[in-house]
Amino acid sequence: MLYIYFFMSVAVLFVVDGISPVFTSPNGWWLVPVLVIGCTLGFIILHLVLLVVSIALVNPNKETEKGNGCFRKLVKYSLPMLFKICRIKVHVTGAEQIPENARVLLVSNHINNIDPIIFLEEFPDLELGFIAKKEVYSEMKFVAKAMKKLYCIPIDRENNREAIKSILKAVDYIKSDKASIGIFPEGYTSLDGELHEFRNGAFKIATKAKAPIVVCTLVGSDKCFKNLIKRRTDVYLDVLTVLRSEEVEQLHTDKIGEIVHTAMKENIDKRKSEIKNK
């Protein structure tokens, strides 16, 4: 979108020049770049205002209806632009393994609050909704509105009965083709960047929905806020494997957790070693 807005600004400049000559004016040498940069910033600001207003108008008490295509597209075109502004570069491997035209359960390690946004930015066609701790909905009201629009689901990790309701809702979203679901099976953000023990009950979403499991890892996202704009942040998103629905149906959630945890741990250690030796 940044490039589109830049070329739109150049087009606007030609229109302005047709009304009042700019290129041939004595001050054209500095006026032209100032106008182009100003128009580009104006388009970006209008885009972001539209995004903010769209989120602000969400009614958090209303059940989300199927068909949030316009909001999804707005997010799809907003996030790459924001990532460029914030100097976040995501390196993706293995994305070709993700099934096309299918709802999936995406699982990953969790090292920063920006992690769900990275997946939304890189895999917009999956139409992901995430399971998030209920505290986000009470402490971050504005963010919660956007999450509501994207079919995210709150979960009470301390109340098993309520947690089961959230899992069943995620199953329904997949089976009714509303959204794919993303989870972080550790259940919380890892403060030390290491992979911790899983809450394997979350894998019931895949077994009950008969959905493939897309196994991913993230390395480097924990530095996004620290480096913000000051320097480029390289984030490594690796799609490790896809457990087909036929495989998932035959496995207990504990076995799924063991397979996924082993694959994630090996790749995280490998990726960290590669980065360290660069």
Domain ranges of the chain: 2-51, 89-276
pLDDT at residue 256 is higher than 90: yes
**What's the whole-number mean pLDDT along residues 20-30?**
66
- pLDDT on residue 22: 65
Q: Find the farthest-apart pair of alpha carbons in the chain and give their distance in angstroms, rounded.
A: 76
**Would you tell me the crossing angle of helices 28-56 and 2-19 to the nearest 10 degrees?**
130
pLDDT at residue 28 is higher than 70: no
C-alpha to C-alpha distance for 153 and 8, rounded to whole angstroms? 38
What average pLDDT does the chain have?
Answer: 87
Beta-carbon count within 10 A of 142 CB:
11
**What's the whole-number mean pLDDT along residues 84-89?**
91
**What's the whole-number mean pLDDT along residues 82-96?**
93
End-to-end CA distance of the chain: 32
Amino acid occupying residue 107: V
Separation in Å, CA 21 to CA 28, 29, 40: 9, 13, 20
Instruction: Considering only residues 63 and 243, tell me which one the structure prediction assigns the higher pLDDT.
Output: 243
- pLDDT on residue 225: 84
Model-level pTM?
0.87
pLDDT at residue 106 is higher than 80: yes
Instruction: Considering only residues 185 and 139, tell me which one the structure prediction assigns the higher pLDDT.
Output: 185
